[in-house]
Amino acid sequence: MSEIVNYDLTGTDSISEAVKTLLNSCPFLDEGETVSFASLQETGGIAFYPTGGAVVLNERRSITDHISQECLYNFAIVNRSYGQNERRKMTAKEFTDSLGKWLERQSVSVGGALYKLESYPDLTGGREIRSISRQSSATLDATTEDQSELWVINMRLTYRNEYDEQL
Amino acid sequence: MRLERSALIHYLNTTPASVSASWYKIGKDVEDMSVDLAASVEKAKNILDETSVRHTGYEASASVNTYYADPDDAFYSFIEGIALGRKKGDDCKTEVLEVVVKDTEDSSHVAYKEDAIIEVQSYGGPQGGVSIPYTIHFSGNRVEGTVTFDSSKKPTFAPA
């Protein structure tokens, strides 16, 4: 019998919005550069793609019908860049890795400057981000016909969702 | 029809020194909590093989094994004073309110109010929060009455 999976459907939208805002607040993005949601321009750019929606990992009910859920939101960051020489490949990979490391709230050195994400953004409706972690280092996922390269890093975001089933 | 666990609600008065009680609802992170009655029962058998039973009362208590410190919580300053301030005696005294909601449509509900002593077991615990488990010792002066709830679900106790 297949396992039943519960989804936090409202949370998916809230998390996606928060992740987009968070990624676009990254201090070492190039000026004018933005991270989009599930949409990459053919000329290049950075986007993130949720992979599966917000899933409820476990749920506890208190004696007062207060519900506490531990939830998971997996997403991939895709960095499209051009050029096949080794130096540009390393730059794209290092940038993508640095972005993932920054999301983990680790100190990141980019261009000689140190950056650290101090806190995660607030979420709506009793949700709170607990952690964001890399599931892989940046890897070359594909090379397109026009010689652009897609560097991908998989991220795992866990958050808590709490609400009262009855007041 | 069987009552849900949430039909039995316990509150603690977080302002015992005030004229009006401020009731804090116990149980946000608690999955299991019971009132242990610890009844005092003495049995004796006489020469006629008759057994007599003397029931002399209760020493009731309830252990709240899961409380995570939250300064936004009305109960926090009260329990912080006991745990970190090492308060004792009457400084640990408050009131406990027990309400049975048999039907949410009822305008009033059966309730009992009693004096209580709060005993903090420990504080700290593993990562994830500051855990302060405590025990409520029911200490007498039990009053039967009813509770009504206002629009924000705050209870008001009225003795019978």
Q: What is the per-residue pLDDT across B8-23, written as a single tens digit (0 to 9) for each?
A: 999 999 999 999 999 9
- Measured between beta carbons, which residues in chain A are less than 8 angstroms from residue B24? none
Residues in contact with A110: Cβ distance below 8 Å, sequence separation at least 6, in sequence order: A28, A95, A98
- Single-letter amino acid, residue B9: I
- The ipTM of this complex is 0.84
Distance of CA B127 to the CA centre of its chain: 27
Summarize pLDDT for B21-65 with one digit per residue, the tens: 999 999 989 999 999 999 999 999 999 999 999 999 999 999 999
The two structure tokens encoding residue A1 = 């019998």
* Cα of B46 to nearest chain A Cα, Å: 46
Contact B30 A166 (CB under 8 A): no
Query: What pLDDT, on a 0 to 100 scale, did the predictor assign at position A165?
Result: 83
User: Which residue's entry shows tokens 């299991």?
Assistant: B32
pLDDT tens digit string along B68-94? 999 998 999 999 999 999 999 999 999
- Give the sign of the dihedral formed by CA A136, CA A139, CA A142, CA A147: positive
Chain A nearest C-alpha distance from B6 (Å): 5
- Residue B135: pLDDT above 60? yes
CA A161 to chain centre: 18
Q: Which of A72-81, A144-153, B39-48, B135-144 has the lowest mean pLDDT?
A: A144-153
> HSE-up of B123 (CA within 13 Å, CB side)?
16
Residues of A in contact with B4 (CB under 8 A): 65
Q: How far is the C-alpha of B122 from the C-alpha of B1, rounded, in Å?
A: 39
* Predicted pLDDT at A84: 57
Cβ separation B6–A167 shorter than 8 A: no
Q: What is the mean pLDDT of residues A122-144?
A: 89
Q: How far apart are CA B140 and CA A128, in angstroms?
A: 42
- What was the pLDDT predicted at A140? 87
Tell if the CB–CB gap between B31 and A65 is shorter than 8 Å.
no
Give the distance from residue A63's alpha carbon to the nearest chain B alpha carbon, in angstroms.
5
For residue B36, the distance in angstroms to the closest alpha carbon of chain A comes to 16
Nearest to residue A37, comparing CAs of A98, A78, A96? A78
The DSSP code for B2 is P
Q: H or E segment at B109?
A: strand B109-120
pTM of the model: 0.80
Q: Which of B29, B75, B136 to mutate to test the interface with A (most CBs of A within 10 A)?
A: B29
Q: Cα(B25)–Cα(B78) distance, rounded to whole angstroms?
A: 14
* Longest CA pairwise span in chain A (Å): 62
A35-44 contacts: CB < 8 A, separation 24 or more? A35/A77, A40/A78, A40/A80, A41/A80, A42/A146, A42/A148, A44/A80, A44/A81, A44/A82, A44/A148
Residue A5 CB contacts under 8 Å (≥ 6 apart), including other chains: A55, A56
Nearest CB neighbour to B28, from listed A62, A166, A167: A62
Contact A153, A132 (CB under 8 A): no
Contact A63 B6 (CB under 8 A): yes
First to last CA, chain B: 26
Q: How many beta-carbon contacts under 8 Å exist across A and B?
A: 30
Query: What does the alpha-carbon distance between residue A108 and residue A66 come to, in Å, rounded to a whole number?
Result: 39
Q: CA A161, CA A14: separation in Å to the nearest integer?
A: 11
Give the pLDDT confidence of A6-60 residue by residue, as tens digits.
888 888 888 999 999 999 999 998 888 899 998 887 778 899 999 988 999 999 9
Q: What are the beta bridge partners of residue A149?
A: A81, A143
- Residue in B closest to A64 by C-alpha: B6
Tokens for B105? 């449509």
- In B, minimum Cα distance to A68 occurs at B29
Q: Report which of A44, A154, A23, A28 is spatially closest to residue A88, judged by C-alpha positions.
A: A44
Chain B: give the shortest CA distance to residue A151, in Å.
Answer: 34
Place of tokens 């309830």: B62
CA separation for the pair A31, A11 (Å, rounded):
30
**Interchain pair A63, B31: CB under 8 A:** yes
